[in-house]
Structure 1
Amino acid sequence: MTTAEEHEVANVTPADLDALEQRLAEVERYLHVDERRGRAEELERLSAESGFWDDAEAARKTMAELSECKSTVSTVDEARTRLSDARAALELAGELSGDDAAELVAEAAASTAALTRSIDAMELSSWFTGEFDHGDAIVTIKPGQGGLEAQDWTFMLFKMYMKYCARRGWKVTINDCPAAEQIGIDRATFTVEGKDAFGMLRAEAGVHRLVRISPTDAKKRRQTTFAMVEVIPVLPDDIDIEVSPDDIRVDVYHASGPGGQGVNTTDSAVRVTHLPTGIVVTCQNERSQIQNKAACMAILKARLYELELEKREEKLDAIRGPKKAAGFGNQIRSYVLYPYQMVKDLRSGVETSNVDSVLEDGDLDPFVVGYHRWATGNAASESEAGDQGHSDVAE
């Protein structure tokens, strides 16, 4: 056991468990667990009826809702069991001494750590109230200010997000990732499939700033570089965006991947340009033009939907956050590799000096959770301020 783990074990107290029980009770209220438990029983009865699968699409939606309800209830029940186990182990440890007591305290600490992680995840999920937060996401990374360095920085971010998605067990489909002429990549677009993918990843939307010694500068001078990350939701099947064939231009070309390697030997890569808006989407992951065009159209429709929301509601924040130039003064997070090492989110204040864990290992959860906690707190403060304003007016 490491020193840090020994310290954690020694500090597990009944008060810690009381605090976790209070958090768990709050999460249960946020997630309406009792309602979901009842809904799951209702859906199970419905799914057992004869003729349930006669309408396959309706049945699929019902089973998806049932799975979601059961998953939430199961997660809460498991958390309750961990809390009970931790309390029992800690109480029994107080009646014993020596190695037996130490073993029980260690067991309580392990249950407490697992319980804390579970509650953190449930709290985070409860913050996702947007229409698409629990669905899949389309992520695009583009170079900003910094020339060649920005293209290399774009590739570094791309690799970081690949590691992050792997850590969370999400499926990633790389739609487009062409190599730049000298270093890095021109851009990257990929689709992420998994629980709460869009809700989690929208924390990453914005300008990312890198400060380091330039690997391309013979004089080894410090360089500041920027890249833009955009995150939009994958639209559900029941949202249909009409795109007229006359409004698009389709070009095909030879596919290539990061590092300049050829993906295949045919002109399978597809570029779709939406003429009325100027939106350009490229895909080259699949082996056929037909598949790549289908992927392009899915991304194009998602972007057109986002654009329509912007026009209708006059605020892009609802989906992607404010649109800003990828340059000085607009960054949401800074990654400093020289003269010191630090990754800091400028919105939430979350920071770490372990830059390798972030860039090399994709350990982004502290930043993602920190952002959503910050955003939720801001929303609550604004709501309270609004309520106070209405009260003042009434008086």
Structure 2
Amino acid sequence: MFSKLAEVESRYEQVNLQLQRPDIASDQKQYRAYMKELADLEKIVLVYRDYKTKSANLKASKELMTAETDNEMRELIREEIKELEAAIPSLEDQLKILLIPKDPNDDKNIILEVRAGAGGDEASLFADELFRAYVHYAGTQGWKVEMLSFSEGNVGGAKEVIASVSGASVFSKLKFESGVHRVQRVPKTEAAGRIHTSTVTVAVIPEVEIGDIKVNMNDLQFETMRSQGSGGQSVNRTESAVRVVHIPTGLDVKCQEGKSQSSNRERAIQILYAKLQQIEDEKNRKQASDARLEQIGTGDRSERIRTYNFPQTRITDHRIGLTIHQLDSVMGGSFELLIDPLVANFQAEALKQQTSAG
């Protein structure tokens, strides 16, 4: 671990020197890339330097203790040793976590898709509620949410919502939301008070730069149509909505929330590219060839990552066996109650793998 930390510190110094070069400073793309790398390295280097300082102080204090004869001074040194010995293991744990290989998508913005699954109208109502909860959470994180497409349910709610979410570390926090979310509650239309079970599927797809993946434009089929949903009377008078189909894979994307056909076309292409890149990434990892289908599943009630039980105000995340009774808080946007334990579990599993590999 410490040889790796020394390499990180050395690279940190090299990047600092690179940023002082006039040719780098004048090249915005290179400069931004180096600044991004510097910020990532600095998170590790600051903790590592704190660790080295405290370790050196501990060694010096122990040496001083053996030479000191004054009882009052010895007591002060003993307290300092006690504080340092308590702090150093925590810094070691932080360093181990910081050295876990980073997901290259963690800092990317995302395309968020929320769809009603099994359960009919009740699934549509919960899909809308879940999406709104994500919007509230995004607000607490300082993220921007842009609606791309909305398909209304039969009795309100949403059959499908697609949005982009941009900001700091969006994918790193929301990537654990991909999968099937099950809801258990008594529908308002249920006179007998019986609990119904419905599902909603969520897909979290990291955005990509258009140039990051090669697509033959002849493989794309475009259609225009009238936008649907709330947006004023003008929304249905012009064919501003755009649907793009990637013929080789059958993937299709519809974007209707932009004010113009050109903006909807641009965003639809960007979403399609993100989905194609995700499929390619999954192939490279020798996993499912269609990652999007793997994420959202079939919407069947048996496939689930999480259950929201409204009568008991309980949420259970089945992947890590976490149960909390703060359903109202989560639906109000406090997703950190679920996300933080998932991140901690991922880090613990990654540390186990590093230990066994080492």
Measured against the shorter chain, the TM-score band is 0.7 to 0.9
| Corresponding residue for residue 251 of structure 2 | 279
- Paired residues for 1:161-200 under 5 Å: 161-200=134-173
Bigger radius of gyration: 2
| Corresponding residue for residue 100 of structure 1 | none
The answer to which of 158-167 and 374-383 deviates more is 374-383
Describe the SS at the equivalent of 1:142.
Answer: strand
| Corresponding residue for residue 199 of structure 2 | 226
CA change 1:209–1:120 in 2 (3 A) is farther
CA change 1:322–1:121 in 2 (3 A) is farther
Q: What is the rounded CA distance, in whole Å, between the counterparts of 1:363 and 1:43 in structure 2?
A: 37
Q: Counterpart amino acid of 1:186?
A: K
Residue-by-residue CA offset, 1:308-359 (whole Å, 9 max, x unaligned): 3344543149967656321222111110012x22011111122221211001
For residue 130 of structure 1, the aligned residue among 103, 120, 130 is: 103
1:375 and 2:346 aligned? yes
Say whether the 8 Å CA contact 1:124–1:372 is kept in structure 2. Answer: no
How far did 1:42 drift? 3.4
| Corresponding residue for residue 242 of structure 2 | 270
Output the TM-score relative to the length of structure 2. Answer: 0.76
- Paired residues for 1:24-35 under 5 Å: none
Describe the SS at the equivalent of 1:280.
Answer: strand
Q: What is the rounded CA distance, in whole Å, between the counterparts of 2:134 and 2:324 in structure 1?
A: 17
1:66 and 2:49 aligned? no
Describe the SS at the equivalent of 2:222.
Answer: strand
Q: What is the rounded CA distance, in whole Å, between the counterparts of 1:249 and 1:305 in structure 2?
A: 18
- Paired residues for 1:143-154 under 5 Å: 143-154=116-127
Number of aligned positions between the proteins:
319
Say whether the 8 Å CA contact 2:96–2:351 is kept in structure 1. Answer: no
Output the TM-score relative to the length of structure 1. Answer: 0.69
Q: What is the rounded CA distance, in whole Å, between the counterparts of 2:137 and 2:93 in structure 1?
A: 17
CA change 1:207–1:124 in 2 (3 A) is farther
1:50 and 2:25 aligned? no
How far did 1:140 drift? 0.8
Say whether the 8 Å CA contact 1:249–1:275 is kept in structure 2. Answer: yes
1:344 and 2:316 aligned? yes
Describe the SS at the equivalent of 1:294.
Answer: helix
The answer to which of 320-329 and 130-139 deviates more is 320-329
For residue 363 of structure 1, the aligned residue among 320, 327, 334 is: 334
1:305 and 2:277 aligned? yes
Describe the SS at the equivalent of 2:305.
Answer: strand
Q: Counterpart amino acid of 1:373?
A: A
Q: What is the rounded CA distance, in whole Å, between the counterparts of 1:269 and 1:146 in structure 2?
A: 28
The answer to which of 51-60 and 139-148 deviates more is 51-60
CA change 1:51–1:381 in 2 (3 A) is closer
Q: Counterpart amino acid of 1:344?
A: T
Unaligned runs of 5+ in 1: 1-28, 81-115, 389-395
CA change 1:364–1:299 in 2 (3 A) is same
Describe the SS at the equivalent of 2:202.
Answer: strand
| Corresponding residue for residue 66 of structure 2 | none
Q: Counterpart amino acid of 1:356?
A: D
Q: What is the rounded CA distance, in whole Å, between the counterparts of 1:267 and 1:370 in structure 2?
A: 45
- Tell me how large the CA RMSD over aligned residues is: 3.7
Residue-by-residue CA offset, 1:275-315 (whole Å, 9 max, x unaligned): 22221111123211111111111111111122233445431
Residue-by-residue CA offset, 1:111-144 (whole Å, 9 max, x unaligned): xxxxx9xx99998776562221222222111111
| Corresponding residue for residue 305 of structure 2 | 332
Unaligned runs of 5+ in 2: 53-89
Q: Percent identity?
A: 26
Q: What is the rounded CA distance, in whole Å, between the counterparts of 2:133 and 2:262 in structure 1?
A: 30
Q: Counterpart amino acid of 1:292?
A: N
How far did 1:208 drift? 0.3
Say whether the 8 Å CA contact 1:255–1:263 is kept in structure 2. Answer: no
Say whether the 8 Å CA contact 2:148–2:257 is kept in structure 1. Answer: yes
Q: What is the rounded CA distance, in whole Å, between the counterparts of 1:75 and 1:216 in structure 2?
A: 56
